[in-house]
Structure 1
Amino acid sequence: MDPDRLGSVPRHETGPGGESYTVRQVRGGEKAYRCPGCHQLVPPRTPHVVAWPDEPLLGGGLEDRRHWHTACWRRA
């Protein structure tokens, strides 16, 4: 098994506000994102976390996904 691929497998965690989130570790692409934890940029090609609220009745919450610095997500 490739450890890099295992890191990208979605998992469920408790996040901000005690809510349940689907979380995925990503390598980073060509775009910068604003981290909701510190309000600073996650630069392009920077490994980070993508998280979105679990919405079991509605089947998603993908439109609410946010890109976090890994350390900011862990603090949240």
Structure 2
Amino acid sequence: MKNRLILSLLSALALVYFAVPYLPEIGTGLGGWFSGVWLFFALLVIGGNFSVLLFQKYPQESKQTITLRRPVKERKRIRQH
């Protein structure tokens, strides 16, 4: 799972790196709104992937084994006539 997160983070960063020069200048007008919204969503994706990488909890290996199941007692069959 960690490899997938790193791959998606790097691909989002590469997408921003290559797309920013082609975006219109942020200002008034439809092109400016598009650039602002696009950059907002791109930063949202990058921030989400980065936060998952930072705060992901990994299962810790315990040194003691804990048994949760109780030993099953053998039951005798009772005949009913």
| Same fold (TM > 0.5) | no
Of the two, which has the highest radius of gyration?
2
Higher RCO (CA-CA < 8 Å; seq separation 6+) = 2
Query: Which structure shows the higher strand fraction?
Result: 1
TM-score (norm 2): 0.22
